[in-house]
Amino acid sequence: MLRTLFFYMKKKVFVEARYDLRHHLWEDVGITIGCEIKRSYDRTRIQRYGSAFIPMDDALVMVALDFSRVYVGCDLACNPIEEGFEPGLFREFLWGLARNAGLTVHVKQLSGTNPHHILEAGFKALGTAMRIALEPSEEMVTTKGVV
């Protein structure tokens, strides 16, 4: 799933990790990616917002995000997949990422019953939305102080 995320972000990343629990692994990987994003990007020089609707067979997942404040809304209705990846691990990954990147992210499952398709569409949509949001901007994208 991480390869999928980075592919859609158009980033070449290698992750090597050891873990005691899968929960810790996914949360810590999210933390690490979030810290790297915060370190690597100037918030005043990115598009800031990104969104994507990604279908995968029966599944349709929407991700909308904003590099500003920390919040995660993750609405996925699926059971663990055969390979052992649970939807709860995706949520832990998102919280680790959001807390450390300064990110609001909403993930909504619009349709689908196959857990693998739902989660893969989620990672694809997240990667696509992040690629869009992290694109360079000539000016700070905000209305603070204007409204």
Model confidence at 143: pLDDT above 80: no
Q: How confident is the model at residue 147 (pLDDT cuts 50, 70, 90)?
A: low
pTM recorded for the entire structure? 0.89
Distances (CA, A) of 47 to 15, 29, 67, 77, 93: 26, 24, 9, 30, 23
The domains of the chain are located at 2-133
CATH class, domain 2-133, is alpha beta
Q: What is the pLDDT of residues 77-102, one digit of tens each?
A: 877 665 667 778 899 999 999 999 99
Q: Could you tell me which residue, 115 or 109, shows the higher pLDDT?
A: 109
Q: Number of helices (H) and strands (E), helices first, in the chain?
A: 4, 4
The closest alpha carbon to 122, from 146, 100, 134, 105, belongs to 105
